[in-house]
Structure 1
């Protein structure tokens, strides 16, 4: 399995606790909850953000390149709905960054901030998650994790499953639009919108895990 993630940890869902949040700052601009049609520029926009991250932290550890910060980045990946061709999404690029030591903030926080990423919060009990945002050239969410992180592995599996499975991709598209409209009508936050989708996401992940042989 990628990154040697423990299967029991991987299939254990609902492990996010919103009370486990240490707020660092607040968004300068509030992103929209609108679900928009797929944009063919999303992959190239991700590449812009990825380039900034590599500039900040050095080439990924799997690279043979050298430069300032080399050793502070294990991997960077485009995840979330904008990474799935043909899937409607909020106009926000989601990025997973894996660093060798999530608790060594001196190795990545100021470097990412120097490239325009705003440090928003840390969640020590949720795999040590650190969360950054950016708003140019469009909104981006940057999730920083340590090695062998179940949450990052779920993101990868979910993305690949949606790319390969039209029925679940269509189901997720409908769910996103329905939840977006309900959340906008109720004046809800992005987290409340995410909560509305959770049951469908868990069902899709269960089917992916079953195909991989991780669950019955």
Structure 2
């Protein structure tokens, strides 16, 4: 792995890098209900400070194989005043795991959910939503993406971020098609 990437991850991951075995499972029909319960917790914790809570990534796409981790997108007005959202989310059972410029990520103690937090207006949010919406309607790209994830899951990863990095090219390719037509 690139030394710069290692140093960057070491600077933003709270608790350091964690070796992980990636497990891809078939789509589970209860994932949307699990998301709804988690989203309710976030909304109750933050009230109107939660500008938007969306189900994103693979568990939000019916029929797409995925890691059994619910990914959520939380939009807040501003990331900088962490006191406006971090303590409330921690009290609600979310643990701050990543603090990087423009992005915070929390997870549940059970590691069955990731909550990605961004400020309103960021391009990352449209990437998540455009990819989700395209994969919900485009079976060839949904199958292509699932196959790439299965291939990558057969490898050994010293941190989940390296697995995510390895998917960057296929995601960019799919997003180009989604935005072209």
| 1:85 aligned to which of 62, 67, 75 | 62
Describe how 1:195-214 pairs up with structure 2 within 5 A: 195-211=165-181
Asked if 1:38 corresponds to 2:27, the answer is yes
Counterparts of 2:137 and 2:179, CA distance in 1: 14
2-side partners of 1:99 and 1:164: how far apart? Answer: 28
Question: 1:135 offset after TM fit, Å?
Answer: 3.6
Unaligned runs of 5+ in 2: none
Q: Given the alignment, which residue of 82, 91, 94 partners 1:117?
A: 94
Gaps of 5+ in 1: 1-16, 59-69, 212-216
* Corresponding residue for residue 42 of structure 2: 53
- Correspondent of 2:148 among 166, 175, 196: 175
1:132 match? 106
How many residues end up aligned between the 2 structures?
175
Q: Deviations over 1:110-166 (max 9, x none)?
A: 000000000112111xxx101100144x61111000011111110000000001101
Using structure 2 for the length normalisation, give the TM-score: 0.89
CA RMSD, aligned part only?
2.0
- Structure 2 CA distance for partners of 1:90 and 1:145, relative to 1, 3 Å: same
Change (3 A) 1:139 1:30: farther
**Does structure 1 retain, via aligned residues, the 8 Å contact 2:21–2:153?**
no
Write the distance in 1 (CA, Å) between the matches of 2:169 and 2:83.
37
CA separation of 1:30 and 1:46: change in aligned 2, threshold 3 A = farther
- Highest Rg: 1 or 2? 1
Q: TM-score, normalised by structure 1?
A: 0.75
* C-alpha contact (below 8 Å) 2:149/2:167 kept by paired residues: yes
Write the distance in 1 (CA, Å) between the matches of 2:164 and 2:153: 9
SS at match of 1:142: strand
CA contact (8 A) 2:105 2:115 kept: yes
Q: Could you say what secondary structure the match of 1:40 adopts?
A: coil
